[in-house]
Structure 1
Amino acid sequence: MASLIAVAGLVAACNPTVKVEAPDKPIVINLNVKIEQEVRIKVDKDVESLVNNNPNLF
């Protein structure tokens, strides 16, 4: 009986504890991002000649 009480006492003493705490220092995320964009415009020959003949059109 005494050994049963001792085992029960040991099992009760082994309750795991989980603590959630905020960090002391701020979280730093470094993002090295390179963004490139390429725009291609296809123009019909009629429109191209119109633009070349009238440079002040746009």
Structure 2
Amino acid sequence: MGSNKGKVGMAILAVAMLQGCINVSAPDKPIVIELNINIQQEVVYRLAADAGDTIEENADIF
């Protein structure tokens, strides 16, 4: 049993030594996220609705 305790102790020591090797640092440059959103459909829909309302309000002109 004394041999198993020694192996377990060595394994714990090895893991403890590896924990100090990890470094995390922030990047030097800012992270840039580019979003390209197409809003053309919404604008066309609004214009079509406004045009329909205008035609209904001024039916005698058209």
TM-score (norm 1): 0.46
Larger Rg: 1
Relative to total residues, which structure has the larger helix share, 1 or 2? Answer: 2
